[in-house]
Copies of this chain bind each other. A is one copy, B any other.
């Protein structure tokens, strides 16, 4: 799937990402993938749930993947963070 369908969830307010997701669907995308890591993972789930419960009722979670990514910190050490990818799709 092209990166054009992906939204990276960071620390902005949830509704910013909800709006980005709705916009992609309204522009004709059949699938949108929400990607997040660490503490933002719960926000990604919030975005998915708000989009499908309040705005795009045809959108269903089609695939949810979890994983681990190594991250190099400022002092040079490496820590692992968890990741999630939630793909919402319209049938």
Contacts and interface: CB of A to CB of B under 8 A. Distances in A.
Nearest to A86: B66
Nearest to A39: B42
Contacts of A86: 66
Interface residues of A, number: 21
Contact of A42 (B64, B65, B82): B82
Contacts of A64: 64-66
A84 interface: yes
A53 interface: yes
Interface of A: 38-42, 45-46, 48-49, 53, 61, 64-68, 80, 82-84, 86
9 smallest beta-carbon distances between A and B, as pairs:
A41-B42, A64-B64, A45-B82, A49-B68, A46-B82, A49-B82, A45-B66, A42-B42, A41-B45
Given A45-B82, A49-B67, A61-B65, 11 more contacts: A39-B39, A40-B42, A41-B41, A41-B42, A41-B45, A42-B82, A45-B83, A48-B66, A53-B80, A64-B64, A66-B86
